[in-house]
Structure 1
Amino acid sequence: MPSNVVLVTGVSGELGGRLLSRLGARPDLERVVGVDTAPPGAGVLRELGRAEFVRVDIRNPLIAKIMTSAKVDTVVHAAPACHPAGSGRYAAIKEANVIGTMRLLAACQNSPHVRKLVVTSTTAVYGASARSQAVFTEDAELFPAAAAGYSKDAVELEGYVRGFTRRRPDVGVTTFRFADLVAPDFDTVFTRYFSLPVVPTVLGFDARLQFLHADDALAVLERATVLDRPGVFNVAGTGVLSLSQAIRRAGRVGVGVPRLAMSPVGTALRLTRQVHVSADLVRLLNFGRVVDTERLTHEFGYSPRWTTREAFDDAVTERRATA
Structure 2
Amino acid sequence: MTPNVVLVTGVGGYLGGNVAARLAANPDIERVIGVDTVPPRGGTGRAAFVRADIRNPLIAKVINSARVDTVVHAAPRRAQHKELTVIGTMQLLAACQRSRAVRKLVVRSTAAVYGASSRSPAAFTEDDAPRDLPASGYARDAAEVEGYVRGFARRRPDVVTTTIRFADLIGADVDSVITRYFALPVVPTVLGFDARVQLLHGDDALAVLERATLRDLPGVYNAGADGVLMLSQAIRRAGRVPLPVPRPAVPVLAKLFPGTRAADFSPDLVRYLNFGRVVDTGRLKTIFGFAPRWTTARAFDDYVRGGGLRVEGS
Q: TM-score range by the shorter chain?
A: over 0.9
Report what 2:103 is aligned to: 115
Write the letter of the residue equivalent to 1:308.
T
Q: Judging changes above 3 Å, is the alpha-carbon distance between structure 1 residues 40 and 269 closer, same or farther for their aligned structure 2 residues?
A: farther
Write the letter of the residue equivalent to 2:21.
S
Write the letter of the residue equivalent to 1:80.
P
Report what 1:207 is aligned to: 195
User: Is 2:1 the counterpart of 1:13?
Assistant: no
If the length of structure 2 is used for normalisation, what is the TM-score? 0.95
Residue by residue over 1:257-306, the C-alpha shift from the partner in whole angstroms, topping out at 9 and shown as x without a partner, is 01111120123358764321111000000000011000000000000000
Write the letter of the residue equivalent to 1:32.
V
CA–CA separation in structure 2 for the residues paired with 1:270 and 1:147: 27
Q: Displacement of 1:132 after TM fit?
A: 1.1
Report what 1:38 is aligned to: 38
User: Is 2:219 the counterpart of 1:231?
Assistant: yes
CA–CA separation in structure 2 for the residues paired with 1:13 and 1:201: 28
Residue by residue over 1:87-119, the C-alpha shift from the partner in whole angstroms, topping out at 9 and shown as x without a partner, is xxxxx6111110100000000000010000000
Q: Judging changes above 3 Å, is the alpha-carbon distance between structure 1 residues 213 and 146 closer, same or farther for their aligned structure 2 residues?
A: closer
Contact 1:270 1:276 in 2 (8 A): no
Q: Judging changes above 3 Å, is the alpha-carbon distance between structure 1 residues 160 and 245 closer, same or farther for their aligned structure 2 residues?
A: same
CA–CA separation in structure 1 for the residues paired with 2:33 and 2:26: 13
Report what 1:78 is aligned to: 74
**What's the RMSD between the two structures over aligned residues?**
1.5
If the length of structure 1 is used for normalisation, what is the TM-score? 0.93
Write the letter of the residue equivalent to 1:73.
D
Contact 2:117 2:131 in 1 (8 A): no
User: Is 2:60 the counterpart of 1:51?
Assistant: no
Residue by residue over 1:220-275, the C-alpha shift from the partner in whole angstroms, topping out at 9 and shown as x without a partner, is 10111111111100000100000000001001111110111112012335876432
Q: Judging changes above 3 Å, is the alpha-carbon distance between structure 1 residues 274 and 49 closer, same or farther for their aligned structure 2 residues?
A: closer
Q: Displacement of 1:144 after TM fit?
A: 4.8
Report what 1:157 is aligned to: 145
Contact 1:177 1:234 in 2 (8 A): yes
Task: Report % sequence identity.
Answer: 65
Residue by residue over 1:23-74, the C-alpha shift from the partner in whole angstroms, topping out at 9 and shown as x without a partner, is 1111000110000111111x22xxx332110111111111101100100000
Q: Judging changes above 3 Å, is the alpha-carbon distance between structure 1 residues 304 and 55 closer, same or farther for their aligned structure 2 residues?
A: same
CA–CA separation in structure 2 for the residues paired with 1:248 and 1:257: 17
Q: Judging changes above 3 Å, is the alpha-carbon distance between structure 1 residues 267 and 224 closer, same or farther for their aligned structure 2 residues?
A: same
Report what 1:255 is aligned to: 243
Q: Displacement of 1:321 after TM fit?
A: 4.4
CA–CA separation in structure 1 for the residues paired with 2:230 and 2:250: 19
Q: Displacement of 1:145 after TM fit?
A: 6.2
Report what 1:28 is aligned to: 28
Q: Judging changes above 3 Å, is the alpha-carbon distance between structure 1 residues 134 and 321 closer, same or farther for their aligned structure 2 residues?
A: closer
CA–CA separation in structure 2 for the residues paired with 1:14 and 1:66: 22
Contact 1:269 1:277 in 2 (8 A): no
Report what 2:207 is aligned to: 219
Q: Judging changes above 3 Å, is the alpha-carbon distance between structure 1 residues 321 and 196 closer, same or farther for their aligned structure 2 residues?
A: closer
Q: Displacement of 1:143 after TM fit?
A: 4.1
Write the letter of the residue equivalent to 2:73.
H
Write the letter of the residue equivalent to 2:193.
F
CA–CA separation in structure 2 for the residues paired with 1:176 and 1:215: 15
Report what 1:63 is aligned to: 59
Report what 1:175 is aligned to: 163
Q: Displacement of 1:13 after TM fit?
A: 0.7
Q: Displacement of 1:320 after TM fit?
A: 2.3
More displaced stretch, 258-267 vs 121-130 = 258-267
Write the letter of the residue equivalent to 1:152.
R
Report what 1:136 is aligned to: 124
Q: Displacement of 1:317 after TM fit?
A: 3.5
Report what 2:284 is aligned to: 296
Contact 1:21 1:49 in 2 (8 A): yes
Name the SS for the 1:204 alignment partner: coil
CA–CA separation in structure 1 for the residues paired with 2:209 and 2:258: 31
What runs of 5+ residues in structure 2 fail to find an aligned partner? none
Q: Displacement of 1:147 after TM fit?
A: 2.7
Name the SS for the 1:266 alignment partner: helix
CA–CA separation in structure 2 for the residues paired with 1:184 and 1:145: 30
Contact 2:119 2:131 in 1 (8 A): no
Name the SS for the 1:234 alignment partner: strand
Q: Displacement of 1:160 after TM fit?
A: 0.3
Report what 2:2 is aligned to: 2
